[in-house]
Amino acid sequence: MPQDANTPKSLPFTRDSRADRYLVEDPLALLIGMVLDQQVPLEKAFAGPWVLRQRLGAKLDAAKIAAMAPGELTALFVDKPALHRFPASMAARVQDLCRLLVDEYGGDAAAVWRTAATGDELLKRVKALPGFGEQKARIFVALLGKQLGVRPSGWEKAAGPFGRAGSLASVADIDSPGALVAVREHKRAMKASAATAGQTSRSAGAKQALEPARSPRGRRTGAGKGA
C-alpha cells in the first residue's frame, strides 16, 4: 500500500499487534476486514484477515481466493474458532469481493483507491464492492483519508459525517487503543439516545391516540347521553 510519511505502521483495531500491522501491509486484508465488520465485535472482524492468511498458509491473493472452490474457502471460515458469526455467508461475500477485484482491478486491491481521481469516484468504486453499502463505503473513504493518506479531491465530502475530524463516529477515527474505547462509547451513547427518542415519540403518539377528538367549537365528540 503506498504510504506517505504520516501513514501509521498499523491500525489499532484488533488488540493483536501482528493483525493490526497486516491491515496496513496488505490492502486486501483491509478490504476483507471491512467486509467482515458487521454483527461481530470490531476486533474480531479486523483480526479475520490475519487468521485467514494463517489458515491459507500464504499471503492473501485475490486471484487465488477467487478461484478457490466455494466449499474450500467456506471450510476455512467455519473452522474453529469461526472467522465470523455467519462464516459461510461471509466466505461467499469475500470470494465475491475477490472476483470483482480480479475482474475490475487485475486483482490489485489498492487500485480501488490508488487510481481514483476524486472523492466521488472513490466512493462510487467502494460502493460497487460486494459487502459495502452506502454507510460502510463512506466510512471506508473516511478511513483511507484520515489514517492512510488517501485524499483525492473532495474525499471529506464523499465520506459524509464520517469525514469530520474527531467525529468518533466510526472505525475511521480509531488511531489508538484509547480512541477505540472512545468510539465504542460514542456509538453506545448514540444508540441510547436514539432509543430514548424513539420511546418518547411512541409515547406521544399513544397519548394523542387516546385523547378524545374535539368538534370545531371545541366540544368533545363521542357517544351522547343514553336514551
Give the pLDDT score at 196.
76
| Bridge partners (DSSP) listed for residue 214 | 220
Tell me the pLDDT tens digit for each residue of 22-45.
999 999 999 999 999 999 999 999
pLDDT at 199 > cutoff 60: yes
Query: Which pTM was predicted?
Result: 0.83
Question: What amino acid occupies position 157?
Answer: K
Tell me the pLDDT tens digit for each residue of 33-91.
999 999 999 999 999 999 999 999 999 999 999 999 999 999 999 999 999 999 999 99
| Bridge partners (DSSP) listed for residue 118 | 153
Give the pLDDT score at 221.
52
Q: Which residues lie closer than 8 Å to 42 by C-beta, 6 or more apart?
A: 13, 171, 174, 180, 184
Which range (11-15, 21-25, 166-170) has the least confidence?
166-170
- CA gap 98, 49 in Å, rounded: 13
Give the pLDDT score at 208.
60
Q: What backbone phi and psi angles, to 5 degrees, belong to 118? A: -135, 165
The position carrying cell 470483482 is: 100
Distance between start and end Cα atoms, the chain: 86
Give the pLDDT score at 3.
45
Give the pLDDT score at 189.
84
- CA gap 64, 134 in Å, rounded: 28
Instruction: Please name the helix (run of DSSP H) or strand (run of DSSP E) that holds residue 218, with its range, or none.
Output: none
Q: pLDDT above 70 covers what percent of the chain?
A: 84
pLDDT at 123 > cutoff 80: yes
pLDDT at 132 > cutoff 80: yes
Using CA atoms of 188, 194, 199, 201 in order, give the dihedral in degrees to the nearest 10: 170
